[in-house]
Amino acid sequence: MWGGWAALILAMLMAMGCAVLSGTDQEDENEKQARWHYEMGTGYFESQDITHAIRELTMALEYDPDHADAHYLLGFIYMGRRNHTRAVQHFREALRVDPQYHSAKNNLGTVYMAMERWEEAAELFEDLLDEVMYTTPELAHNNLGWSYFHQGRHSEALEHLRMAVYLSPDMCLAENNKGRVYEATGNERDAERHFRRAIDKCPQSYQEPHFYLGRLLQRRDDDRAAAHFQRCVEISSSNNLADRCREYLGVY
């Protein structure tokens, strides 16, 4: 009985013009479809159509669950949306497929920092610094220094932040972070020096050193503090840091 049904089904498929794919052919087709949906997803992402980008990248993974780049880009999108759980999931999957995916490891550590999982973040950045093929070690040094800072490991934090600036002299983020470490240890003179360096290196777009320098100057009753709070608001007026700067400006 079953043999008759099988013959009938096969005849119907042939009549409809359907081909029965072998295992290898099906794998090739899945890979082709995954690549096509991934490319569509990257196109939507570049056009800032994030909803369609997520849809296409998800479809790519349905065809190929081991598509490391699709996992990475989804992780990056969810990181930007502050959906930390999903970002971690996709960065981990990218690393499962390709343990040498350095950008995925760095971004996974960045998400852990956003989640205040400082020790887990530090482990990833330490691993990156052991990778001889990693091409942006200044990022790992800065992030490792910041992770150590939040663990109270101030001397080690400064060591890595100094190395970040050595490797990338224009890295205003690392200069600002050095200022934060010095301020936390009570060394206001060096804190001020590094906040000013951060401002000098990124004068047009970096709010944080203006806020922290303004706060430091205000503690000294230095009237120059107001100018830094005002500049903080001018750089970007619609975020939490701008709101904090406005609060300090209200004192003047």
Which amino acid is it at 202?
A: C
**pLDDT at position 16:** 43
**pLDDT at position 126:** 97
Asked whether residue 46 is assigned to any structural domain, the reply reads yes
Residue span of the structural domain in which 91 resides: 33-115
Asked whether residue 153 is assigned to any structural domain, the reply reads no
What single DSSP character describes residue 152? T
**pLDDT at position 250:** 85
**pLDDT at position 22:** 60
C-alpha neighbours within 13 Å on the C-beta side of residue 213: 26
**pLDDT at position 1:** 46
Asked whether residue 248 is assigned to any structural domain, the reply reads no
Q: How many distinct structural domains can be found in the chain?
A: 1
Q: Tell me the C-alpha distance between 192 and 170, whole Å.
A: 17
Asked whether residue 136 is assigned to any structural domain, the reply reads no
- Per-residue confidence in pLDDT tens, the chain, 252 aa: 444 544 543 444 344 444 455 667 778 789 999 999 999 999 999 999 999 999 999 999 999 999 999 999 999 999 999 999 999 999 999 999 999 999 999 999 999 999 999 999 999 999 999 998 999 999 999 999 999 999 999 999 999 999 999 999 999 999 999 999 999 999 999 999 999 999 999 999 999 999 999 999 999 999 999 999 999 999 999 999 999 999 999 866
Closest CA to 71 of 49, 88, 52, 93: 93
**pLDDT at position 6:** 45
Q: Report residue 212 as tokens.
A: 């922290």
Asked whether residue 220 is assigned to any structural domain, the reply reads no
Asked whether residue 48 is assigned to any structural domain, the reply reads yes
Asked whether residue 130 is assigned to any structural domain, the reply reads no
pTM for this model (two decimals): 0.84
Asked whether residue 45 is assigned to any structural domain, the reply reads yes
The CATH code of the domain that includes 97 is 1.25.40.10
**pLDDT at position 141:** 98
Q: Which residues contact 14 (CB under 8 A, 6 or more apart)?
A: none
Compute the CA torsion angle 24, 27, 32, 33 (nearest 10 deg).
140
